């Protein structure tokens, strides 16, 4: 009996130790689990803080981006404004191309080029060239190009000159800008026909400018198929 009681007590102690160990193991696991939870919680909190910080940073970056965009836009506007301010008049831009009108007769001043080498040799019987200067006398730019109408007049005779077989470009004349066109003619030093005036009608115009003819007699060929006197294009 005593041995049986002792054996029972031994078994009970063993169970208690096992249960204790199990409880200790559970406790230990609980502690470990609690610690893990604390770590996880800390990580979650840290992640939340990071996410919050990232969100705040992203929001600030977005605001910064908007500011940067606004600043960039303002910079572009300023640059365009500077460019517009510094741009020369009548320079065509892709954004706001200005309208440059055609040169009208009233916009132009015409005159013979008479100085130095510009003067033709009126003592020769070979073809000569007289240059006619065309100046923009208006206060705005204008476009001109093509063949002017040129009539040589003397008394009742009016000779409308033929045009040269020549290509041409349209050009823009700023206020005060000058271009020219040639009149090729056959002098006749001992001839009897001397033009008194030259009537110049700018391209696409119906009104004219009149100049005095300064170069002496010209071989009159107003009925010829291929006369030696003709006009070239402006520019």
How does pLDDT run across 62-73, given as a tens digit for each residue?
333 333 333 333
Two tokens, residue 79 = 């640059």
What is the CATH number for 200?
Answer: 2.60.40
By CB neighbour count within 10 A (0-12 exposed, 13-18 middle, 19+ buried), where does 104 fall?
middle
Q: How confident is the model at residue 128 (pLDDT cuts 50, 70, 90)?
A: very high
> How confident is the model over 165-180, as pLDDT tens digits?
999 999 999 999 999 9
Range of the domain at 47: 1-87
CA distances for 182 relative to 24, 129, 155, 194, 222, angstroms: 118, 6, 24, 19, 18
Residues 184 and 217 in one domain: yes
The answer on 165 and 121 residing in a single domain is yes
C-beta neighbour count of 185 within 10 angstroms: 25
CB-based contact 124:185 (threshold 8 Å): no
Give a yes or no: residue 81 inside a domain. yes
Residues 122 and 75 in one domain: no
Q: Same domain, yes or no, for 224 and 110? A: yes
Distance CA 98, CA 142 (A): 11
- Tell whether pTM > 0.95: no
State the total domains in the chain. 2
Residue-wise pLDDT tens digits, 76-88: 233 333 233 333 3
Which of 27, 197, 105 has its CA nearest to residue 35?
27
For residue 111, what are the contacts with CB-CB under 8 A and spacing of at least 6?
A: 132, 133, 135, 211
Q: What is the CA radius of gyration of the chain?
A: 50
CA nearest neighbour of 124 among 220, 217, 231: 217
* Average model confidence (pLDDT) across the chain: 73
């Amino acid at each position: 009996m005593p041995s049986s009681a002792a054996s029972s007590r031994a078994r009970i102690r063993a169970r208690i130790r096992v249960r204790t160990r199990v409880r200790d193991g559970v406790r230990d696991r609980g502690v470990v689990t609690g610690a893990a939870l604390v770590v996880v919680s800390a990580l979650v909190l840290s992640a939340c803080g990071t996410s919050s910080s990232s969100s705040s940073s992203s929001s600030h970056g977005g605001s910064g981006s908007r500011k940067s965009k606004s600043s960039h836009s303002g910079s572009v506007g300023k640059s365009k404004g500077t460019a517009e301010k510094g741009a020369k008049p009548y320079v065509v831009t892709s954004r706001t191309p200005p309208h440059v009108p055609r040169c009208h007769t009233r916009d132009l001043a015409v005159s013979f080029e008479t100085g130095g080498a510009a003067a033709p040799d009126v003592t020769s019987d070979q073809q000569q060239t007289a240059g006619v200067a065309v100046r923009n006398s208006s206060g705005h730019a204008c476009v001109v190009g093509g063949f002017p109408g040129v009539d040589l007049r003397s008394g009742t005779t009016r000779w409308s000159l033929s045009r040269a077989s020549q290509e041409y470009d349209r050009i823009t004349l700023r206020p005060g800008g000058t271009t020219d066109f040639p009149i090729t003619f056959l002098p006749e030093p001992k001839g009897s026909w001397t033009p008194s005036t030259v009537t110049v009608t700018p391209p696409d115009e119906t009104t004219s400018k009149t100049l005095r003819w300064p170069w002496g007699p010209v071989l009159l060929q107003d009925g010829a198929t291929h006369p030696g006197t003709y006009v070239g294009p402006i520019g």
